[in-house]
Amino acid sequence: MVGHARWLLWEGYSDGYLRHPQDYSLASKLGVYFFSLFKYGHEAVLFFFVLSGFVIHLRYARQLAAPSASGIRFGWAAFVWRRARRLYPPLLAAILLSFCLDAFGQWQGFPVYFQNTPYPNINENVVPHLELATLGGNLAFLMDAYVPAFGTDWPP
């Protein structure tokens, strides 16, 4: 969350701090260096995917290597069923929560939904996509490949 907020709300190290460091107080300068720890969020997510892929594979590799595993084969149907049971509940909860919060935000007239905030980065990048085709693409796990993320529930 801190990494996303840093990306959306801060002018940046090279575009802000380096150009006018005299405008920063000591506390703000400490904040610049502290929050720079969170600039590797994308790399952390990639590492998580690689690590989780290894852990998922390790379970099957151990089952297949066991002496009692003669004749045990990898079953795609069982794998897909277990994966769907694990992934769809949080996906559906996130889509429903995003839809409810986005609908409420639009009803209240919050500026973020109309690209009218004082932050240009938010105005350019936070666009709610509440179309039915976007919902279908997200339910098929095609977000960012063929359709945008549903609502404003997206990683920058």
DSSP result, 53-93: HHHHHHHHHHHHHSGGGTT----HHHHHHHHHHHHHHHHHH
Question: Between 128 and 75, whose confidence is greater?
Answer: 128
Side chain identity, residue 125: N
What pTM was estimated for this model as a whole?
0.61
**Looking at residue 103, what is its pLDDT?**
93
pLDDT > 70 in the chain, percent: 86
What is the 8-class DSSP label of residue 31?
Answer: H
Rounded CA-CA distance 6/3 in Å is: 5
pLDDT averaged over every residue in the chain: 83
pLDDT tens digits, one per residue of 80-99 = 898 899 999 999 999 999 99
Tens of pLDDT along 2-40?
777 766 666 665 667 777 778 878 887 787 778 877 778
Instruction: Answer yes or no: is pLDDT of 156 > 60.
Output: no
Residue 61: what pLDDT? Answer: 80
Amino acid identity for residue 110 in this structure: F
Residue 69 has a pLDDT of 60
